[in-house]
Amino acid sequence: MTFINPKTDFAFKKIFGSENSKDILISFLNALLYDGQPTIQSLKIFPPYAAPRIRGLKETYLDIKAQLDDDTTVIIEMQVLNVEAFEKRILYNAAKAYSTQLETADKYALLNPVIALTITDFEMFEDFTKVTSRFVLKEKDFLIDYPVYDIELAFVELPKFKKTLNELETLTDKWIYFLKSAKDLSIVPETMQSVPEIQKAFTIANRSALSREELAELENEEIYIQDRRGAISKAVKQGREQGRQEGRQEGRQEGIKVGQLALIIRLLERRIGAVDSEVDSQIQELSIDQLENLGEALLNFNDISDLTAWLQTQDLPAE
């Protein structure tokens, strides 16, 4: 058997984010958030795209959004690329998920907790080697918890997980190993077959079970990730070199933007076809941060209308 990479956006959503995958998601969240204890018994899965409820509020793209049986909201993001200001994006998404629960006349007492679970394929916190980490509000000097324990940021850094198959002990170990290593396996390991939800996750991840259209979408995403990694690396190198030569910060930024523009145009052509000169001109006007956001958003585009609608939400220079 050959298994798809659970770290890709397509595979992660397919394995954990469908109505048929509730039991998988419950086991996964119990493992990563509650040390393998059966704390979560049921949950609801919502569409991962979170449209802003306040005019002008930045749109949010998540991999999975779920409401637990105690009304806690969990937003889950699998992040492969270490992009600029990612830490701020996590905090923004968590704060937005918390604050937009209320309608105008609702009381603050109706607010329910939010947990933002982020799995990264890179190291975020170099100061410690722990694979999982949890952040909450505390008093700065005495580290006393804030009275309301309502916003929590939880992280799993896959590169820090070093256990081999024979060293897996807990449900948490097995799920992290699945995320990190499933794509490299040819059979379901015996030690993981004992967990029905993980066995089911492997079944969904079996490449032979995917349709031709799903395989094409997965391939496009894998190409996108590879291209973007290469483009980011090349753009940074070009920007640094140009910055050294010119001795100006503008040189470094321009080099990064040139690389991003080239990648975006190539990906757009693959995703929705060639764009006309007017749309191309608008794309050229985007800032580095806006190009970054477009690179994330275009995976959700089906045709040119989606792109033009997205461009209309951006603050572009007046003609």
Indicate the pairing of strand 114-120 with strand 60-61: unpaired
* Relative orientation angle of helices 277-284 and 304-312, to the nearest 10 degrees: 40
Asked whether residue 46 falls in the same domain as residue 145, the answer is yes
Q: Rounded to an integer, what is the distance from CA 157 to the centroid of its chain?
A: 13
Return the pLDDT at 227.
Answer: 61
Q: Which of 182, 209, 236 is the last residue of a domain?
A: 209
Residue 4, domain member (yes or no)? no
Return the pLDDT at 81.
Answer: 78
Q: Which of 159, 189, 209 is the last residue of a domain?
A: 209
Residue 54, domain member (yes or no)? yes
Asked whether residue 203 falls in the same domain as residue 239, the answer is no
Kindly report, residue by residue over 99-131, the tens digit of the pLDDT: 989 888 889 999 999 999 999 999 999 889 999
Kindly report, residue by residue over 204-248, the tens digit of the pLDDT: 999 888 888 888 777 777 776 666 666 555 655 665 565 555 545
Structurally, the chain folds into a number of domains equal to 2
Asked whether residue 225 falls in the same domain as residue 284, the answer is yes
Asked whether residue 193 falls in the same domain as residue 245, the answer is no
Residue 317, domain member (yes or no)? no
Asked whether residue 107 falls in the same domain as residue 69, the answer is yes
Asked whether residue 254 falls in the same domain as residue 134, the answer is no
Q: Which residues of the chain have pLDDT under 50?
A: 50-57, 59, 247
Asked whether residue 83 falls in the same domain as residue 170, the answer is yes
Return the pLDDT at 52.
Answer: 43
Asked whether residue 81 falls in the same domain as residue 165, the answer is yes
Identify the domain containing residue 300 by its residue range. Answer: 212-312
Asked whether residue 36 falls in the same domain as residue 168, the answer is yes
Asked whether residue 184 falls in the same domain as residue 221, the answer is no
Asked whether residue 141 falls in the same domain as residue 280, the answer is no
d(CA 228, CA 167): 34
Residue 35, domain member (yes or no)? yes
Return the pLDDT at 50.
Answer: 47
d(CA 319, CA 309): 18
